Amino acid sequence: MTEERTTEVNEPGGNTHTHTTVIKESGGGSSGAGWVIAIVLVAALAVGIYLFANASGSEAAKDNAIAGAAKDVGTAAQKVGDAAQTAAEKVGEN
Helix, strand, coil shares of the chain, percent, nearest 5, are: 65, 20, 15
* pLDDT at residue 70 greater than cutoff 80: yes
* pLDDT at residue 56 greater than cutoff 60: yes
In contact, 2 and 13? CB cutoff 8 Å: no
Residue 2 has φ and ψ, to the nearest 5°, of -115, 135
Report the C-alpha gap between 76 and 83 in whole angstroms. 11
* Average pLDDT rounded to a whole number, residues 64-73: 87
In a 3-state reduction of DSSP, which class is residue 81? helix
User: If pLDDT is split at 50, 70 and 90, which confidence band does 27 have?
Assistant: low
